[in-house]
Structure 1
């Protein structure tokens, strides 16, 4: 009996150059998913192996448009009314089932952005080179005239097109994935390359976690147009020497800190994070990627670059 393979994986690369013999695809801010339809049975599996079909009934119903005994690799995404990818709405849908899932499908419908085909009408295609799998995927979309929830992921061998995609950060594109044209689909192997769009920016330290003598992470904020200090994100774990050097520049908060009474969670957990509030006066420079939540906060940890004692909080970008 045929079963879905493990997904082929990516390895991060520092450059966005599209080389000869490679193709590029946009990297979407969503959930990686593999889908198969076989004699009416639909399997929608996450990268970690969780079954998601009950949470996304519109995807399961849409599988009727596909040829039988076919399996796709792709990304589940949700768009908001402004045409931006909204990861929070997508994440919220994971826990819904039954009537709740059906209501959510009507309010915040998901789409499956297909970027690979691993089985086609009963034929395992994982041994085919990428260029052949890509041609087969395009044929399925054209011949079946697939409509929502199916979206064909763009693919290009033109460097100029890749550079254009890298300007799509405002709609939630995270970067570019590079795939060798002659490479087969290799389950669980990091054969694809991923370049994530990042930018360097400034924020104000409002709190830290860890010991006062050597903070482990910084909690960062920015002022909005009304003068309120808003939380925007947190750094990755600081190097020991960096934390020690920063300790003398962070001053414990006096009364009336704008985050008094707030609680913060550890990354990927509902566990409450123990933090020390500091006077919001030190500006730091960090590297961030383009993923944002619905409130505009950074969805991933910021990478430490340097302190900017030469700047005042008013010099940092506004919320």
Structure 2
């Protein structure tokens, strides 16, 4: 249905209904021939449309993004090409590194604020697929190898502006892609794997994504009880900042039910304020919830190793995966240096 809708819209001169092709998770890079590997960028997925003087940016969910990124609308409208559809990622770079929190700050209702940010921290479109060429012909049925060639040909026809538009690098060498995964930190959090001989499949999980495995040793600065339960539901994690204060950085809730009674008794015996001496749960932030203040502070004695994907604003962006207790680690060793912050 998505493809038929896209073709119908293309005949009208503007498509806003091509769903992005998505990826399914895997633990390892695929083997064999015929794969293209690309960095998994730390930004907002975006499909950019141009038809005549009209430009549109759409998120992965189909919501319009143009009002939040006026500098990109202006740039794409200025290109000497009347029509195209490009799949890519919106990113913001600050001091040589991608800043996801700066990207999130764009989703603000005040136009004056958006204009200010667009001048101070302009966004860039990292293009990785061509879905419609400048001739107005949809390329969804063409193989990735052909679509990539069309994207590179397109880029030769427009003025170079790496500040606002670049083409994502790629490799067809699995060993090189594996080296991307082994890196620590950086602007990407994994690798996206695509078949060279496959068409673009809107809305389908037809790609493979492999995330970089990153771990950190964290102090357990507090815990929360589970909903309607007297047993532990999640552990609150902390890292020491440069001032020697313990900042709250996230949580982990991957605790086996069989272990909860004994762990709850262990944690309750360590209850002692303040728990976190720096940034604490319940402070004003976009992560706050109605339960943010409902937590129990602990003596900073327990250390756990967790797996995480990305860090934004000195916090784990998502919940972490509990790996193991680290009785061999001193809490004082758990600082931000191990996650590159």
Q: Do both proteins adopt the same fold according to a TM-score greater than 0.5, normalized to the shorter chain?
A: yes
1:221 pairs with 2:238: yes
1:129 pairs with 2:143: yes
CA shift for structure 1 position 268:
6.4
CA shift for structure 1 position 216:
1.5
The aligned counterpart of 1:202 is: 217
CA shift for structure 1 position 69:
2.2
1:119 pairs with 2:132: yes
What TM-score do you get using the length of structure 2 for normalisation? 0.85
The aligned counterpart of 2:107 is: 94
1:70 pairs with 2:88: no
Q: 231-240 or 20-29: which moved more?
A: 231-240
3-state secondary structure, aligned to 2:194? strand
Residues in 2 aligned to 1:249 and 1:222: alpha-carbon distance in whole angstroms: 21
CA contact (8 A) 1:18 1:162 kept: no
CA contact (8 A) 2:221 2:300 kept: yes
1:164 pairs with 2:172: no
Question: Residues 189-231 of structure 1, C-alpha deviation per residue, up to 9 Å, x if partnerless?
Answer: 0000001101233111111122474212111012234431121
What TM-score do you get using the length of structure 1 for normalisation? 0.90
1:279 pairs with 2:299: yes
- Given candidates 187, 191, 209, the residue that maps to 1:176 is 191
The aligned counterpart of 2:265 is: 248
CA shift for structure 1 position 252:
4.5
CA shift for structure 1 position 167:
4.8
CA shift for structure 1 position 114:
0.5
Question: Residues 151-185 of structure 1, C-alpha deviation per residue, up to 9 Å, x if partnerless?
Answer: 10111101233133235543221110000001100
Paired positions, count: 316
Question: Residues 117-160 of structure 1, C-alpha deviation per residue, up to 9 Å, x if partnerless?
Answer: 11112101111111110110011112324424111011110123
1:292 pairs with 2:305: no
Distance change (3 Å), C-alpha of 1:309 and 1:61? same
CA shift for structure 1 position 256:
4.1
Distance change (3 Å), C-alpha of 1:240 and 1:180? same
The aligned counterpart of 1:311 is: 329
Question: Residues 41-71 of structure 1, C-alpha deviation per residue, up to 9 Å, x if partnerless?
Answer: 1110111121110110111011132622211
Residues in 2 aligned to 1:266 and 1:96: alpha-carbon distance in whole angstroms: 17
The aligned counterpart of 1:14 is: 27
3-state secondary structure, aligned to 1:95? coil
Q: Which structure 2 residue ranges, 5 or more long, are not aligned?
A: 1-8
Distance change (3 Å), C-alpha of 1:99 and 1:222? closer
What is the RMSD of the two structures over their aligned residues, measured on CA atoms?
Answer: 2.4
3-state secondary structure, aligned to 1:19? coil
Residues in 2 aligned to 1:303 and 1:242: alpha-carbon distance in whole angstroms: 16
CA shift for structure 1 position 96:
4.8
Residues in 2 aligned to 1:66 and 1:98: alpha-carbon distance in whole angstroms: 28
Residues in 2 aligned to 1:256 and 1:217: alpha-carbon distance in whole angstroms: 18
CA shift for structure 1 position 267:
8.8
Distance change (3 Å), C-alpha of 1:177 and 1:62? same
CA contact (8 A) 1:28 1:172 kept: yes
